Amino acid sequence: MSEVSKSSSGNGFEPRIVGFFCNWCTYTAADLAGTSRLTYAPNVRVLRVMCSGRLDPQFILDAFRKGADGVLIGGCHPGDCHYQAGNHKALRRYTLLKRLLKTMGIEEERVRLEWISASEGDKVQRVINEMTEDIRRLGPLRLPPIPHAGRMPGEAVERVSSIGQETGL
């Protein structure tokens, strides 16, 4: 994920929301909202995932770290998961993550999980408008930048270099 683009206009704060939408329901519903010419707040950057169960909690934290003010997760209604139980897993992770985020000082409204079926274009409109207003009230998140003198843990696999030829030992 590259840095979430800035969309502040003038002095007014425009929330930046990252949406992780399930391919089989919410993403299709967002398409429906578009083809139905529903207008809604332009504050959500939608990322399509194959299932809300694919959503690693790291993605959510990373979105915040990279400048998001809120994260919206859209999945299939319980019982409707294309992969049977992906949305249940999403709900379990979301429940525990919300508790963690509370300890970390993140307001509850900044992460939202909604079940939106492929036919609910109007719900996409309503949820996005609501969440945009909720976060507008909260203001920006402003995570401090990550200091980085060396590498980040987890990047070792990507860094293949051949130092260590001569250690002098």
Partner 1 sequence: MSKPKIGFYWCASCGGCDEAVVDLAENILSVVEAVDIAVWPVAMDFKRSDVENMQDGEMVVTFINGAIRNTEDREIVEILREKSKYIVAFGSCAHLGGVPGMGNLYTRESILECSYSETPSVVNPEKVCPQGETTVPEGVLTLPVLEERVWTLDQTIEVDYYLPGCPPPVALIVDGVTAFLTNQLPPKGSVLGPKHSLCLDCPRKDTKPENMLIKEFKRPHETEIDLETCLLAQGLLCLGPATRSGCGAACINGNMPCTGCLGPTDSVRDYGAKALSGIASLFDAETEADIARIADRIVDPAGTFYRYSLPGSLFQGKVFQKEGARS
Residues that bind partner 1 (CB under 8 A): 56-58, 60-62, 64-65, 78, 88-89, 91-93, 95-97, 99-100, 103-106, 141-144, 146-157, 159-169
In the complex with partner 1, the residue whose CB is nearer, 49 or 97, is 97
Minimum CB–partner distance for residue 1 and partner 1 (Å): 11
Write out the two tokens for 114: 């909604």
Minimum CB–partner distance for residue 34 and partner 1 (Å): 30
In the complex with partner 1, the residue whose CB is nearer, 9 or 155, is 155
d(CA 41, CA 114): 17
Minimum CB–partner distance for residue 154 and partner 1 (Å): 4
In the complex with partner 1, the residue whose CB is nearer, 18 or 30, is 18
CA dihedral 145, 150, 152, 158 (to 10 degrees): 130
The helix/strand/coil state of 22 is strand
The neighbour count for residue 2, using CB atoms within 10 Å, is 5
Write out the two tokens for 121: 């274009």
In the complex with partner 1, the residue whose CB is nearer, 6 or 148, is 148
d(CA 27, CA 55): 14
